[in-house]
């Protein structure tokens, strides 16, 4: 095989393609083939075994799970290098034509949760406009396009926005008191199903198109997607912070997640270019704050140097 | 017999009786329904094709920038020995700087006054792909270093979008990736003849490009990939499908066993295409050890997916051939095989061809099964000529469409529609022969 | 019986049912009928005779415009029924065909049950008020076509599973069931045994009391038996037309004579 | 590649075999070819097939074994030689037998029939392959998730944290509902179009309209999806659903059904048109001769005669409807709900198979594995539906054949 | 002529071409032929007569196993040709049908050119060494079927565009072109005029010198003219079989007599 083969998350895909393209242009190795298909497929293919007809690197928008590592090991894929390539910011944006928003997690919880606490009692959520949720917000119909349950983004959205909002708004306490700890967590994260919260199983372009046909909608996007579509989207602040690579890198903007690539160590030295590609990926010129990835919207890892070191040393996971 | 009621009450044939009028009205209505149905179908086709062409025709035109570039030996060949191997150590980033400098100089030479124009705006006019193009050119001919050459490179996607109406001054004001000043500069450069919009052959020949370079993305690899896959499908699916149908329809004894096969085939048609991807991954890649992302695997999977369509269509067509024709042939001592191949098959050919057209159309446009066998991928390198090329990684036209519709840069919308146009043309070319043959074989008896 | 016919042959104008003037039919380039003129009388059986391929079926199909369904067929001239030009734009071929029934040369039963085959015409023309009446029409037509006894126990079996002669009679029954004013029969007895033939001939004789019947036949005996008028076709020409016994006993044209005496074919 | 050389050599040998067989047949026949059982060309073809088939079998077996690593890659030349040996043996056998008494035609036809049977076995093999590639993951899904909940629960809500509810009923309902609407659009339009094309349209119109309509089947489904999302969805919402108070969802079963119906038109129209066209003209003549209008002829004679083929076309369209993803995702949304309101968002099994399989979940978690279970379940359900369809068609056909 | 035949009727075993023993045919439940026993001689014309629907075609189709193509048909008994059981597993029906040609009751030309229709059989059986020889076979067959003059200028036009009688003769020519040893003709002259009929009868007479011919006909005259042996079928039974002039002059069975004299059908 002449090219490195990479598969996995569609969130990591654009970054990988940028790197692959540059890698192909600037080295003697072939341009790696980057497949999309989701973190799950990527890791599944990664863990299918060692050999020419398995992939070398998996893109993932989340950390590999223990069960997956076990499965990998069962198929003979034992030495896995985990490489964190940076962070992905998750932003809330609406149509340019509409009002602008300054949200807090609690707003989102109160707007989208199936059950909310009103006057200390748990009631079904009937809020119809953002102003009902928080008088400071615009009086615009609630219509949120949130990532479907297949997206890793949804996990972050659930944890960092909805669960956070549940806690911030004090609903968690009430839920815990009424339902017990476990049920309370579930109750926090159950979204309403009356059409105000629309799951998007497609990608950000679908969300964008839906905002196009329903201009009241507010969508959840990746930072880089928003940055490429600033002419049609306006971004909302979260807890007063405007999302940008800087605010996310500094940790001010709360909603973000790390992105990874997993490298099959057994392929290093067998498939030409595997290690070189990984090194190229996290090099300063590429993944640094001034590199093309950052320009595209990837939040550069503040600890990039240690990542580079780990790749150079071929450090594997334990 | 004498007391039969009369069919027609009216004496004159010129006058239609009430019942005939009613029946004729029903006839007219029925005809109108039929025509309406066709008009609906054709209108939908027109609407869809119109939107595709409207959105996609832009992909066939592209804005180019032509400037003289001084190839600075200091930057490009620090050691000064013109050794291509050493010069390869110079990254595209450096070439980018060379280009930026050249453009700055060119703009400065024009002596323009544009408010708010920053140096970043000027550099932003050039596509990120340009540096790679220049590097390739220099590495191919190291003696160029030190000279000043005229280069013709792609302009950035936003600038291109400006000339296609996608980007306006208004949106540029909101967009961090461009600025009104940059657009004004672009206008000036057009006047100066440095920026031109012309036919974009690269769209058809170039490989895919990353998110940052929509202007450089093309369907070259995808066309090859689709072509290879369709070759495999055509070579396998049509003969296998027709052979299986002939066996089932003409030879197989009517038994539970053939019922089973029949239901089975009908059921395969209902299997979601992604499941064929799962099958392909399990059987062709993991079991048979064929390479992933390769057109051969894609072709095999699509063959399995298309087979039911072809078989169902072919069986229906075979069934429609009147038995008297078979009797006639058998009666002069033709074997069943001869009867089928000499008489039945030609008469069933229109239906078989229709099944082939529809099956291939489906196969050509399908993405989901390719997802799991690694063909929904970013592939920059062209596969070799067949048969080896069948085993090289390649993309496919629907994959390119699928990928591009997911990209964040709005410039890819146009590319995706452009790829759809290419796909439809591909489909038409593929079907043309079939349609011609079908007309030739069509007859009533 | 022949006496009456002979007196009828001095017909007044209104007795003419069908009249053809200068009819020419082409299949593509090939001319199948050349300048045909004929007047077919009401309440009469007219026999068309002539060697195979001379244009009998072609002309028959012109009379109820079945040639419309053949793309390559082109017709010139004028055919009137009851004085009305059937190729007039105002004419509705559907109504025409309901009035002018046809039995085709090749039996073509529908792939439906025997019952449905016969009931088809009455159903579309609304000839029966109810199931019972329809049953009755079906039975009467099948009896008329001498098929009832053979099929009465298998009315719901497909018509295509009948023997050749049975199919032919089924098609006769089907045509009779719509009670057309003119019945065109293209060799209706070709696959029938003598008994069945004579039964069908009886039916024709019956029909004649009300309707006009045109029958194509290769059997001179049959023509002589059932028809009052005979037309002799030869190579696309209507060579001779006249009272049946005149034609058979004193043909005017030498070709007619040759054909009848079995010398040309 | 020694194996491809072997293939090439086998092809050459086959040609030689053809010529040899034929000339030998001619020779034994001396003057009168009639004394042969089969025409000389069949003796030739017999030899050609006798060369090709064994060679191909050896080559395919060898490359299969080589790919899956049972035999070493270096065994290529050995396999090639083996294949050649088989070819030569076949040649010897066929050529020595060619001659007067040998039933070459029967032999050729037996081989061709064998090939045909082999081809129809591919369908069975595919089915087995599909079941096998789904079953293990399905079993491991049911190890982690209750069977009853999967089949009978009406709640579908996968979660990353676990504790997902994965009831398939809403998906099944959505699948059936959307397919039903799609067929409601495609079948009448497609059938009427087919009838118009084959019975009324001028040859010119037909020669243009038929291929044109077929293009509808070739437009990538993403185009339909976007059309549903951007145009049809809002239109239905603003003009029908909202005024009638049936909700204000931009995506709905109706949207997806309508748009999918359009995509399916050519499946019904083109195939039916061919079948209708194949109905013998004499049947039409029979009906027209009785004074029925063309439309009556079509409805009562032509369509019943063409029925088996038309049913096939409709089943094909239905199958396509069940298997479609993109249009449903963009047109009907991703919400798994059970509702009779056609203006509400719903989703289908196929969509969820794709989305769970290509999502970001843990690949060994029930959330991902459910895709396999859904695939297998759908397989079984459609199998049942097909059996029912077959039985119904048989019943109906028995009346006539 | 009849003298020779009569002497032949005291046949030795080897002159029997086809022999049927206890043949029964069922279409599904319905029995179409009941316990039929017959021996058909070589170099003889045998006529099958009987009312429509009595099983003549059915039995004819048994002789070259054309009934194999009807799903619902089931055959019991034993039919041998030249002493070989044709329903034996070792028998290749294709070879059988090449040896036993058939003209079907309903003309069924291939939707191909007239030339190809006739040339098809010779082509698949390799009867002609070259184009010229094939041309010759086609011409000879068409002449034999009395069609050559009518179609010699339009050999490349489709056979389906011929008139009914022409199609019938085309099918005869097609069957004759393969020179079968036994020729089964199901009402070959039903759509033919007397002249064409007599030409076909001449052909049959010619064929008889070499082959065995079985002809189904509804015309007693024809049966009497062309056949040496006659079999009378009635309601699925072979009622009587014997020398043609015996059957017509002194039938043994009352049903035969009734049929011949035109009393039952
Ligand atoms: N395919 C079939 N399915 C069921 N019954 C059939 C089929 N073909 C013929 N029959 C029946 O079998 C009997 C004998 O039919 P057959 O065709 O042999 O008659 P036949 O003697 O040739 O009559 P004809 O002179 O009318 O052609 C008839 O009653 C007929 O209805
Ligand atoms: N569809 C057709 N296309 C071309 N030529 C045709 C067609 N139908 C008939 N013919 C030709 O027209 C001539 C007259 O045919 P027609 O069918 O009228 O003959 P016919 O008198 O009915 O003969 P038959 O007694 O054999 O049925 C014939 O030469 C025939 O070959
Ligand atoms: Mg005729
Ligand atoms: Mg018969």
Closest atom of ligand 2 to C55 CA is 18
Model confidence at B2: pLDDT above 60: no
Of the candidates E94, E106, E175, the beta carbon closest to that of B335 is on E94
How many whole angstroms separate alpha carbon B287 and alpha carbon B304? 16
Residue list, ligand 2 pocket, CB within 6 Å: C 27, 30, 32, 52-58, 70, 72, 105; E 161-166, 191
Q: Any idea which ligand is nearest the CA of C186? A: 3
List all residues 6 or more positions away from B313 whose beta carbon is below 8 Å from its beta carbon: B351, B352, B354, B355, B356, B358, B359, D271, D274, D312, D313, D316
Are E95 and D34 an interchain contact pair (Cβ–Cβ within 8 Å)? no
How many whole angstroms separate alpha carbon A97 and alpha carbon A234? 9
Are D282 and C158 an interchain contact pair (Cβ–Cβ within 8 Å)? no
pLDDT of residue D179: 94
Token pair of D183 as six digits: 């067929």
pLDDT digits (tens, 9 = 90+) for E62-89: 998 988 888 888 999 999 998 889 988 8
How many whole angstroms separate alpha carbon D362 and alpha carbon B316? 45
**Side-chain half-sphere exposure of A64, counting CA atoms within 13 A:** 30
Look at ligand 2, atom 10, and give the residue with the nearest C-alpha.
E162
pLDDT digits (tens, 9 = 90+) for B415-426: 999 999 999 999
Q: How far is D357 from chain A (nearest CA, A)?
A: 7
Please name the residue of chain A whose CA is at the shortest distance from the CA of residue D234: A213
pLDDT digits (tens, 9 = 90+) for D112-155: 999 999 998 888 899 999 999 999 999 999 999 889 999 998 88
Least Cα distance to C122 among C148, C108, C106, C101 occurs for C101
Q: Any idea which ligand is nearest the CA of C109? A: 1
pLDDT digits (tens, 9 = 90+) for D189-240: 999 999 999 999 988 898 889 889 999 988 888 889 989 988 898 888 888 8
How many whole angstroms separate alpha carbon A155 and alpha carbon A257? 10
pLDDT digits (tens, 9 = 90+) for E135-175: 999 999 999 998 999 898 989 998 888 998 999 999 999 99
The architecture (CATH level 2) of B220-441 comes to Orthogonal Bundle (1.10)
Q: How far is CA C7 from CA C4, C213, C229, D103, in A?
A: 5, 18, 12, 72
pLDDT digits (tens, 9 = 90+) for D53-110: 888 888 888 877 776 666 776 666 777 788 888 888 888 887 777 766 777 788 888 8
Token pair of D98 as six digits: 């060619």
Q: How confident is the model at residue D47 (pLDDT cuts 50, 70, 90)?
A: confident
Q: Is the dihedral of CA C88, C94, C98, C103 positive or negative?
A: positive
Please give the CATH topology (third level) of the domain spanning D156-400. MetI-like fold (1.10.3720)
Residue list, ligand 1 pocket, CB within 6 Å: C 161-166, 191; E 27, 30, 32, 52-58, 70, 72, 105
Least Cα distance to A292 among B213, B120, B157 occurs for B213
pLDDT digits (tens, 9 = 90+) for A121-162: 888 888 889 998 888 888 888 999 999 888 888 888 988 899
Mean pLDDT of D6-30: 82
Model confidence at E40: pLDDT above 60: yes
Where in chain D do CATH 1.10.3720.10 domains reside?
156-400
Are A199 and D361 an interchain contact pair (Cβ–Cβ within 8 Å)? no
Q: How confident is the model at residue A220 (pLDDT cuts 50, 70, 90)?
A: very high
Of the candidates A25, A34, A295, the beta carbon closest to that of B378 is on A34
Instruction: Using an 8 Å CB-CB cutoff, list chain B residues near D192.
Output: 33-34, 36-37
Instruction: Using an 8 Å CB-CB cutoff, list chain D residues near C110.
Output: 283, 286-287, 300-301, 305
Mean pLDDT over the full length of chain B: 86
Neighbours of chain C (3+ CB pairs under 8 A): B, D, E
Q: C22-26, D12-16, E59-63, E228-232: lowest mean pLDDT where?
A: D12-16
Least Cα distance to C262 among E198, E143, E223, E204 occurs for E198
pLDDT of residue B17: 80
Is E95 within 8 Å of chain D by CB?
yes
Look at ligand 2, atom 22, and give the residue with the nearest C-alpha.
C57
Q: How confident is the model at residue E10 (pLDDT cuts 50, 70, 90)?
A: very low
Instruction: Using an 8 Å CB-CB cutoff, list chain C residues near E107.
Output: 106
pLDDT digits (tens, 9 = 90+) for B3-38: 444 444 446 777 778 888 888 888 899 999 999 999
How many whole angstroms separate alpha carbon D264 and alpha carbon E210? 61
Token pair of E256 as six digits: 């035969």
The structural domains of chain C, with segments of one domain joined by +, span 2-260
How many whole angstroms separate alpha carbon A8 and alpha carbon A154? 17
Q: How far is CA E263 from CA B148, C251, E242, E256, E260, in A?
A: 114, 33, 21, 10, 7
pLDDT of residue B445: 64
Task: Tell me the CATH class for E2-260.
Answer: alpha beta
How many Å separate Cα B372 from the centre of its chain?
19
Sheet holding C100-103, edge to edge: C100-103, C182-186, C212-216, C45-49, C229-234, C237-243
List all residues 6 or more positions away from B304 whose beta carbon is below 8 Å from its beta carbon: B268, B276, B279, B280, D122, D126
To the question of pTM greater than 0.95 for the whole model, the response is no
* CA–centroid distance, residue C56 to ligand 3 (Å): 6
Are D213 and B319 an interchain contact pair (Cβ–Cβ within 8 Å)? no
Mean pLDDT over the full length of chain E: 86
Backbone angles phi, psi at A219, to 5 degrees: -115, 160
Q: Are E145 and E172 in contact (CB under 8 A)?
A: yes
Q: How far is E90 from chain C (nearest CA, A)?
A: 30
Q: Which residues pair with A233 in a beta bridge?
A: A95
């Amino acid at each position: 095989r002449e090219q490195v083969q990479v598969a996995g998350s569609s969130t990591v895909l654009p970054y990988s393609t940028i790197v692959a393209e540059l890698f192909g242009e600037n080295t003697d190795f072939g341009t790696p083939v980057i497949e999309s298909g989701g973190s799950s497929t990527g890791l599944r293919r990664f863990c299918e075994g060692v050999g020419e007809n398995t992939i070398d690197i998996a893109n993932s928008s989340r950390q590999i799970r223990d069960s997956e590592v076990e499965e990998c090991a069962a198929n003979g894929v034992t030495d896995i290098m985990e490489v964190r390539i940076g962070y992905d910011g998750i932003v809330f944006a609406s149509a340019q034509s509409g009002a602008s928003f300054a949200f807090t997690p609690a707003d989102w919880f109160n707007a989208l949760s199936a059950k909310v606490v009103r006057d200390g009692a748990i009631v079904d959520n009937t809020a119809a406009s953002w102003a009902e949720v928080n008088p400071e917000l615009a009086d615009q119909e609630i219509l949120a396009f949130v990532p479907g349950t297949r997206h890793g983004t949804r996990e972050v959205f659930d944890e960092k926005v909805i669960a956070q909002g549940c806690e911030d708004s004090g609903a968690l306490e009430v839920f815990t008191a009424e339902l017990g700890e476990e049920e309370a967590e579930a109750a926090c994260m159950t979204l309403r199903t009356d059409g105000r919260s629309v799951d998007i199983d497609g990608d950000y372009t679908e969300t964008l198109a839906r905002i196009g046909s329903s201009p009241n909608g507010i969508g959840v996007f990746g930072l880089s997607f928003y940055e490429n579509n600033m002419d049609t989207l306006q971004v909302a602040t979260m807890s007063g912070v405007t999302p940008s690579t800087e605010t996310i890198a500094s940790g001010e903007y709360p909603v973000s997640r790390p992105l990874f690539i997993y490298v099959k160590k057994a392929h290093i030295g067998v498939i030409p270019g595997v290690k070189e590609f990984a090194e190229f990926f996290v090099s300063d010129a590429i993944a640094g704050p001034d590199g093309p990835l950052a320009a595209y919207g990837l939040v550069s890892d503040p600890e990039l140097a240690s990542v580079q070191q780990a790749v150079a040393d071929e450090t594997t996971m334990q | 017999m004498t007391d039969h009621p009369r069919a027609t009450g009216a004496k004159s044939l010129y006058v239609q009786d009430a019942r005939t009028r009613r029946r004729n009205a029903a006839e007219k209505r029925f005809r109108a329904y039929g025509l309406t149905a066709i008009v609906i179908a054709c209108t939908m086709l027109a609407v869809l094709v119109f939107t595709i062409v409207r959105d996609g025709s832009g992909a066939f035109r592209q804005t180019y920038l032509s400037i003289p570039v001084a190839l600075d030996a200091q930057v490009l060949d620090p050691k000064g020995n013109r050794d291509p191997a050493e010069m390869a150590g110079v990254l595209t980033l450096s070439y980018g700087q060379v280009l930026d400098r050249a453009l700055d100089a060119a703009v400065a030479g024009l002596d323009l006054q544009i408010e708010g124009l920053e140096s970043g705006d000027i550099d932003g006019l050039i596509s990120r792909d340009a540096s790679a193009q220049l590097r390739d050119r220099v590495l191919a001919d190291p003696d160029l270093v030190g000279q000043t050459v005229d280069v013709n490179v792609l302009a950035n996607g936003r600038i291109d979008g400006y000339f296609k109406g996608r980007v306006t001054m208004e949106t540029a004001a909101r967009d961090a990736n461009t600025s009104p000043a940059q657009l004004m500069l672009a206008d000036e450069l057009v006047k100066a003849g440095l920026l031109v919009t012309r036919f974009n052959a690269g769209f058809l020949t170039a490989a895919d490009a990353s998110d940052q370079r929509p202007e450089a993305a093309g369907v070259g690899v995808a066309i090859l990939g689709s072509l290879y896959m369709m070759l495999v499908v055509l070579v396998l699916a049509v003969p296998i499908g027709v052979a299986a149908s002939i066996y089932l329809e003409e030879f197989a004894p009517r038994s539970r066993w053939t019922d089973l096969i029949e239901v089975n085939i009908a059921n395969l048609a209902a299997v979601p295409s992604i499941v064929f991807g799962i099958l392909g991954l399990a059987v062709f890649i993991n079991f048979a050890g064929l390479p992933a992302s390769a057109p051969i695997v894609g072709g095999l999977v699509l063959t399995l997916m298309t087979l039911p369509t072809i078989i169902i269509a072919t069986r229906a067509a075979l069934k429609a051939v009147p038995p008297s024709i078979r009797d006639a042939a058998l009666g002069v001592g033709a074997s069943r095989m001869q009867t089928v191949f000499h008489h039945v098959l030609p008469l069933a050919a229109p239906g078989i061809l229709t099944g082939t057209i529809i099956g291939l159309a489906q196969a050509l446009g399908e993405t989901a099964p390719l997802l799991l066998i690694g063909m929904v991928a970013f592939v920059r390198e062209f596969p070799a000529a067949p048969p080896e090329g069948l085993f090289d990684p390649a993309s496919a036209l629907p994959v390119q469409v699928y990928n591009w519709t997911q990209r964040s840069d709005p410039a890819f919308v146009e590319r995706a529609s452009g790829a759809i146009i290419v796909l439809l043309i591909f489909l038409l070319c593929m079907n043309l022969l079939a349609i011609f043959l079908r007309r030739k074989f069509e007859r009533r008896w | 019986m022949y006496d009456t016919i002979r007196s009828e042959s001095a017909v007044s104008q209104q007795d003419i049912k069908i009249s053809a003037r200068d009819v020419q039919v082409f299949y593509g380039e090939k001319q199948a009928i050349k300048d045909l003129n004929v007047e077919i009388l009401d309440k009469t059986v007219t026999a068309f005779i002539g060697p195979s391929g001379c244009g009998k079926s072609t002309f028959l199909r012109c009379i109820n415009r079945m040639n419309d369904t053949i793309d390559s067929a082109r017709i010139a001239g004028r055919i009137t029924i009851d004085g009305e030009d059937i190729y007039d734009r105002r004419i509705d071929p559907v109504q025409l065909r309901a009035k002018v029934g046809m039995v085709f040369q090749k039996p073509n039963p529908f792939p439906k049950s025997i019952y449905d085959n016969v009931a088809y015409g009455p159903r579309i023309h609304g000839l029966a008020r109810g199931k019972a009446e329809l049953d009755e029409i079906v039975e009467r037509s099948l009896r008329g076509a001498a098929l009832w006894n053979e099929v009465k126990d298998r009315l719901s079996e497909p018509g295509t599973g009948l023997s050749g002669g049975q199919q032919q009679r089924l098609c006769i029954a089907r045509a009779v069931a719509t009670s057309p004013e003119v019945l065109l029969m293209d060799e209706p007895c070709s696959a029938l045994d003598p008994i069945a033939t004579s039964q069908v001939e009886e039916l024709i004789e019956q029909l004649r009391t009300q309707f006009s019947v045109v029958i194509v036949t290769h059997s001179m005996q049959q023509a002589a038996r059932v028809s009052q008028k005979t037309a002799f076709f030869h190579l696309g020409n209507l060579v001779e037309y006249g009272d049946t016994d005149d034609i058979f006993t004193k043909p005017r044209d030498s070709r007619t004579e040759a054909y009848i005496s079995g010398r040309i074919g | 590649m020694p194996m491809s050389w072997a293939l090439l050599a086998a092809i050459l040998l086959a040609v030689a075999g053809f010529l040899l067989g034929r000339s030998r047949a001619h020779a034994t026949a001396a003057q009168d070819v009639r004394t042969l059982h089969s025409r000389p060309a069949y003796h030739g073809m017999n030899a050609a097939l006798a060369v090709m088939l064994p060679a191909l079998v050896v080559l395919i077996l060898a490359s299969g074994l080589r790919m899956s690593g049972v035999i070493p890659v270096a065994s290529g030349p050995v396999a090639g030689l083996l294949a050649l040996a088989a070819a030569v043996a076949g040649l010897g056998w066929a050529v020595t037998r060619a001659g007067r008494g040998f039933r070459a035609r029967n032999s050729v036809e037996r081989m061709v029939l064998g090939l045909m049977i082999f081809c129809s076995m591919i369908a069975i093999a595919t089915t087995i392959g599909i079941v096998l590639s789904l079953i293990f993951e399905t079993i491991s899904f049911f190890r982690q998730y209750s069977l009853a909940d999967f089949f009978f629960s009406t709640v579908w809500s996968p979660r990353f944290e676990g504790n997902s509810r994965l009831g398939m009923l809403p998906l099944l309902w959505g699948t059936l509902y959307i397919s039903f609407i799609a067929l409601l659009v495609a079948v009448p339009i497609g059938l009427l179009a087919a009838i118009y094309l084959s019975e009324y349209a001028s040859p010119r119109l037909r020669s243009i309209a038929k291929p044109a309509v077929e293009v509808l089947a070739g437009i990538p489904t993403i185009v339909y999806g976007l059309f549903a999302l951007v145009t049809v969805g809002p239109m239905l919402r603003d003009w029908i659903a909202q005024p009638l108070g049936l909700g204000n969802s931009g995506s709905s079963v109706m949207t997806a059904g309508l748009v999918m119906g359009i995509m399916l038109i050519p499946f019904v129209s083109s195939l039916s048109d061919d079948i209708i066209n194949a109905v013998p003209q004499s049947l039409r003549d029979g009906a027209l001769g009785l004074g029925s209008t063309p439309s009556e002829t079509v409805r009562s004679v032509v369509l019943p005669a063409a029925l088996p083929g038309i049913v096939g076309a409709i089943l094909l369209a239905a199958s396509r409807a069940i298997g479609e993803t993109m249009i449903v995702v963009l047109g009907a949304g991703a919400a798994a709900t059970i509702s009779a309101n056609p203006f509400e968002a719903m989703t289908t099994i196929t969509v969820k198979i794709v989305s769970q399989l290509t999502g970001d979940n843990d690949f060994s978690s029930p959330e991902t594995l459910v895709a396999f279970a859904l695939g297998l379940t759908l397989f079984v359900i459609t199998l049942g539906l097909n059996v029912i369809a077959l039985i119904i068609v048989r019943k109906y056909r028995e009346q006539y054949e």
